[in-house]
């Protein structure tokens, strides 16, 4: 249990600079912000996966996968919802109409064109490795 708490503390420490930047409004430049928020996203991913593994004792695996999938795509849909709301508020001729369409099509291209084939490749590689052993 001590090792796990140490890992959780390390992950929380990795996310703290991004939280500090967001709450204080401090500007550290694009490289610093990219590093801080990238580390925070990675840390959140670790916490999410650890929580999902821990929840498997009490909740079905299918429900956990559905919740994790929803949590991972929710920020993208929140951005698109903002663009769609602004487009409706400003009017049909606004730039937000194009932003909403471009954001959703770009997100779906990444998901269908990169994420799903990557999952298939990983699954195939694991199966091939198991056959060789």
Q: Quick one: pLDDT band at residue 118, thresholds 50, 70, 90?
A: confident
What's the angle, vertex CA 84, arms to CA 74 and CA 30, rounded to 5? Answer: 65
**Token pair in block for residue 39:** 């580390």
Residues 18 and 73 in one domain: no
Q: How many domains does the chain have?
A: 2
CA dist 93 and 17 (Å) reads: 40
Tens of pLDDT, residues 62-74 = 888 888 888 877 8
Residues 123 and 66 in one domain: yes
Of the three residues 58, 81, 99, the one that is the final residue of a domain is 58
Q: Contact, 76 vs 102, CB < 8 A?
A: no
pLDDT value for 21: 93
Is the pLDDT assigned to residue 133 strictly greater than 70?
no
**Token pair in block for residue 29:** 């430049």
Q: Which residue has the higher pLDDT, 98 or 119?
A: 98
Q: Report CA 33 to chain centroid distance, whole Å.
A: 17
CA dist 117 and 68 (Å) reads: 19
Query: Is 86 exposed, middle or buried, given 0-12, 13-18 or 19+ CB atoms closer than 10 A?
Result: middle
Tens of pLDDT, residues 12-61 = 999 999 999 999 988 899 999 999 999 998 898 888 888 888 888 888 88
Tens of pLDDT, residues 24-35 = 988 899 999 999
Residues 85 and 67 in one domain: yes
**Token pair in block for residue 123:** 């699954």
Residues 101 and 120 in one domain: yes
- Domain that residue 96 falls in: 60-133
């Amino acid at each position: 249990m001590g090792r796990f708490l140490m890992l959780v503390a390390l992950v929380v420490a990795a996310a703290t600079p991004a939280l500090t930047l967001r709450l204080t409004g401090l500007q550290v430049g694009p490289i610093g912000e990219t590093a801080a928020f990238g580390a925070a996203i990675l840390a959140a991913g670790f916490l999410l996966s650890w929580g999902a593994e821990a929840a498997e004792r009490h909740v079905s695996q299918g429900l956990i996968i559905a919740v994790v999938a929803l949590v991972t795509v929710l920020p993208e849909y929140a951005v698109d919802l903002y663009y769609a709301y602004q487009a409706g508020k400003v009017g049909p001729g606004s730039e937000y109409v194009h932003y909403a369409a471009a954001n959703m099509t770009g997100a779906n291209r990444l998901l269908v064109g990169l994420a799903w084939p990557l999952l298939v490749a990983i699954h195939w590689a694991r199966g091939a490795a198991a056959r060789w052993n």
